[in-house]
Chains A and B, each alone.
Chain A
Amino acid sequence: MSEVKYSKEHEWIKVEGDVGTIGITKHATEMLGDIVFVELPDVGSSVEKDGNAGVVESTKAASDVYTPISGDVLENNQAIVDDPGKINSDPENDAWFFKLKIKDISELDSLMNKEDYDKFAKESGN
């Protein structure tokens, strides 16, 4: 049984046991426009909740990617590095960014469920 949660920085995390798969939301891609470059955290590196975990660049600008929770990076998605356009076409499935081993499962409590996130995204407009 997996659950998906969302951050205010427009990342999603799908949780399966103690492994989290992280990407950016469709709403984020719509704001960014065409994504043409992505940089992902190295496998084996540690990332801290709300800390920097990569960069996406659209034709317009560069934006930081943040990790919604802390952990050690297990895997990153080379397919989106080779073809960043995939992030625009399927942001919440195939175009995941990285997987991590979750350090503290209670950090998930601060994140939003889908309904709350959709409301947040609509209201914030950014």
Chain B
Amino acid sequence: MEIKKTSLNKLHQDNKAKFVEFAGYEMPIQYSLGIIEEHKFTRSNSGIFDVSHMGQLFIYGDGNLTDDLEKIFPLDLKNLKLNSSKYTFLMNDKAGVYDDLIITKLDEGYLIILNAACKDNDFKILAGLLKEKYKMVLNDQRSLIAIQGPKSVDILNQILETVEDLNFMSGNWFTYKNQKLYVTRSGYTGEDGFEVSISNELAEVFTKELLEKGAKLIGLGARDTLRLEAGLCLYGHELSTETTPIEASLKWAISKERLNNGGFIGSDKIISQIKDGAKKIRVAIKPEGRLIAREKTKIYNESDEMIGEVTSGTFGPSVNGPIAMGFVDKNFSKKETRIFLEVRGKRYPANICGLPFYKKSYVKGANK
């Protein structure tokens, strides 16, 4: 199959991107700055991420659609305000996760942002569950551009006036060159920031304007180190059909209102795991020294018993040291539990620690 390119591909090339294939797309892993400097720039200034490979699913419908989506997602969508977003999961009957996603309530229905590698399968599953009662558009005519970091609000507000009034996890329509953009205040870096859904034809000129105002393009490499420092899950690593949201320590994302009566896909399993506890649980891991424990590294306790596996591990540029997340036996999941990581045949000491590794600075309310 031919590799797909986003509307910003030429701009990436012009900015000396190194490319990798990701979920069938040619995506920039880094630019000439390099992952560490790109990461630090995002934390101190403003980074632009092309995430156009992600799915933008628009589902059009009224109150019936809300009822039907509540049979799927563990959310209180009836009480979700217009233009508000929630993080949630598309699950199977056993609460295994097909995808993690952000759903936003729009005037005419819902916008769901899906992972690139999952979006086609998600569409099939949702179309089946909704029995083709509603118009569903997995819109590949729109690009998705994330702007992340403390200076993003000032930069974006110069282009889209009043964007600074958006609250965290909410969105709105804005007009840019006579076209409608949908902007949410959200992100995947642990920083304040925005995600902009924009027509493919305007994506490049919009991004160039951000660059002129001082933001820099940041690759997927830094996106990964930023999200890992922020303690955020990556589908295919911390989440899969073999893992439930409870095991992944994401109970906070399940609406409390839905836990009494269930009625969403996977609710039996979720409710029983909350009651009885999960056997394995996602934890943060801080290796001692500089050693990096990558995905699939085996985790042992002090009695030499294998208790789990690393799901993501890297060097955290802002933490200035190695960091990892993984799943361990619940009995060894307490903070400050000493564990051992087996890397290249040797075992190295590490400790379970709290999340996030790097403290967030999300804006809760509007600035003014």
Q: Which residues of A contact B (CB under 8 A)?
A: 33-34, 36-37, 39, 55, 57-62, 81, 84-85, 88
Q: Would you list which residues of chain B between 1 and 56 have a CB under 8 Å from chain A? A: 29-30, 34-36
Q: Do residues A59 and B322 form an inter-chain contact, with CB atoms below 8 A? A: no
A36–B300 CA distance with the chains assembled, in angstroms: 24
User: Tally of A-B residue pairs with Cβ under 8 A?
Assistant: 39
Contact of B294 among A62, A84, A88 (CB under 8 A): A62
Q: Which residues on A sit within 8 Å (CB–CB) of B225? A: 59
Q: Do residues A36 and B29 form an inter-chain contact, with CB atoms below 8 A? A: no
Min Cβ gap A36→B in Å is 4
Does B360 belong to the interface (CB within 8 Å)? no
Q: Do residues B221 and A37 form an inter-chain contact, with CB atoms below 8 A? A: no
- How many chain B residues touch A (Cβ–Cβ < 8 Å)? 16
Contact of A33 among B35, B322, B344 (CB under 8 A): B35
Min Cβ gap B321→A in Å is 9
The 6 closest A-B pairs by CB, nearest first: A36-B315, A59-B35, A34-B36, A34-B34, A57-B292, A37-B290
A84–B315 CA distance with the chains assembled, in angstroms: 12
Q: Do residues A60 and B29 form an inter-chain contact, with CB atoms below 8 A? A: yes
Q: Would you list which residues of chain B between 193 and 246 have a CB under 8 Å from chain A? A: 221, 225
Q: Do residues B30 and A36 form an inter-chain contact, with CB atoms below 8 A? A: no
Q: Do residues B221 and A60 form an inter-chain contact, with CB atoms below 8 A? A: yes
A36–B37 CA distance with the chains assembled, in angstroms: 13
Does B273 belong to the interface (CB within 8 Å)? no
Q: Which residues of B contact A (CB under 8 A)?
A: 29-30, 34-36, 221, 225, 290-292, 294, 314-315, 317, 322, 344
Q: Which residues on B sit within 8 Å (CB–CB) of A57? A: 292, 315
Min Cβ gap A91→B in Å is 14
Secondary structure at chain A's binding surface: helix, strand, loop or mixed?
mixed
Q: Do residues B34 and A36 form an inter-chain contact, with CB atoms below 8 A? A: no
A36–B323 CA distance with the chains assembled, in angstroms: 12
Q: Do residues B221 and A84 form an inter-chain contact, with CB atoms below 8 A? A: no
Q: Which residues on B sit within 8 Å (CB–CB) of A88? A: 34
A124–B304 CA distance with the chains assembled, in angstroms: 44
A34–B314 CA distance with the chains assembled, in angstroms: 12
A33–B315 CA distance with the chains assembled, in angstroms: 13
Min Cβ gap A9→B in Å is 18
Given known A33-B35, A34-B35, contact A59–B314 (CB-CB < 8 A): yes
Q: Which residues on B sit within 8 Å (CB–CB) of A85? A: 36
12 pairs, CB–CB < 8 Å, chain A vs chain B: A33-B30, A33-B221, A34-B34, A34-B35, A36-B36, A36-B292, A36-B322, A37-B290, A37-B292, A58-B35, A60-B29, A88-B34
Q: Which residues on A sit within 8 Å (CB–CB) of B294? A: 61-62
A44–B243 CA distance with the chains assembled, in angstroms: 47
Residue of B nearest to A81 (CB): B290
Q: Which of B34, B290, B294, B344 has the most CB of A within 10 A?
A: B290
Query: Besides A33-B221, A36-B290, A62-B292, 18 other CB < 8 A contacts?
Result: A33-B34, A34-B36, A36-B292, A36-B322, A37-B290, A37-B291, A39-B344, A55-B344, A58-B35, A59-B35, A59-B36, A59-B225, A59-B314, A60-B35, A61-B294, A62-B294, A84-B290, A85-B36
Q: Which of B29, B36, B291 has the most CB of A within 10 A?
A: B36
Residue of A nearest to B39 (CB): A59
Q: Which residues on A sit within 8 Å (CB–CB) of B34? A: 33-34, 88
A81–B228 CA distance with the chains assembled, in angstroms: 24
